[in-house]
Structure 1
Amino acid sequence: MRWVLRYSGIIALILACFALEAIARDLDQDEALKLREEGVILPLDQLMRSALGQYPGARLLEAELEEEDDVYIYEVELLTADGTVRELELDARDGRILKDEEDD
């Protein structure tokens, strides 16, 4: 029983470190502008053309730029013509759609 108490703190610390690695960081406007000017990411409006092509008549509800594990991702919510809200994740470097699912 003593070894459980002795190592439980270490185990908790290790698990906390793994949990922190998966957290995405939201970028503000200034950071996004700097990354666009440096050519690291593409402008959102350029990437949205292809995403909206899959959902004619859809409207943009929300967009955020995030960094997760050194990957820049636009997280986008669309309202489709039939009233469905879709959540997309686009690779900000090349526009690849990483995730496309109906939002709950």
Structure 2
Amino acid sequence: MLALARPVRYLALCLLAVSSLAVGRDLDQDEALELRHRGIIVPLERLLEAALGRYPGARLLEAELEQEHGRYEYEVEILTPQGVVREIKFDAATGALLKDEEDD
């Protein structure tokens, strides 16, 4: 019984490590500012204009910078004039649109 506990515990730790990498992490404003100054990410303002331009009259609800899947991503949530919340993701390094979908 004791011999089985060690492999199970090891497997649980491995799964926890992998799942934490998949989830990613939010960056604080100091980290974001440093990345912007170093030219690693594009300015958030540019991508906010692009997100709001997709839905004229929309309002910004939230914007955050995340490190996910080995890259930096901006996640922007907006409220359209029709009352629909949309989640829009951009590659923070290139500004490329990654996702635009209705948020649950």
TM range (shorter): 0.7 to 0.9
1:52 equivalenced with 2:52 (yes/no): yes
3-state secondary structure, aligned to 1:48 = helix
1:98 equivalenced with 2:101 (yes/no): no
3-state secondary structure, aligned to 2:55 = coil
* Whole-angstrom CA distance in 2 between matches of 1:31 and 1:7: 38
Residue of structure 2 equivalent to 1:27: 27
Aligned length: 104
Deviation >4 Å, runs of 4+: 1-4
Structural mapping, 1:79-90, within 5 Å: 79-90=79-90
Unaligned runs of 5+ in 2: none
TM-score by length of 1: 0.86
Residue of structure 1 equivalent to 2:64: 64
Over residues 50-99 of structure 1, what are the superposed CA-to-partner deviations in whole Å (9 max), with x where a residue is unaligned?
22222111111110111124311111100111111101111111221212
Percent identical pairs in the alignment equals 57
Is the Cα–Cα contact under 8 Å of residues 48 and 76 in structure 2 kept in the other structure?
Answer: no
| Alignment root-mean-square deviation, CA | 1.7
* Whole-angstrom CA distance in 2 between matches of 1:87 and 1:46: 17
- Greater shift, 85-94 or 7-16, is seen at 7-16
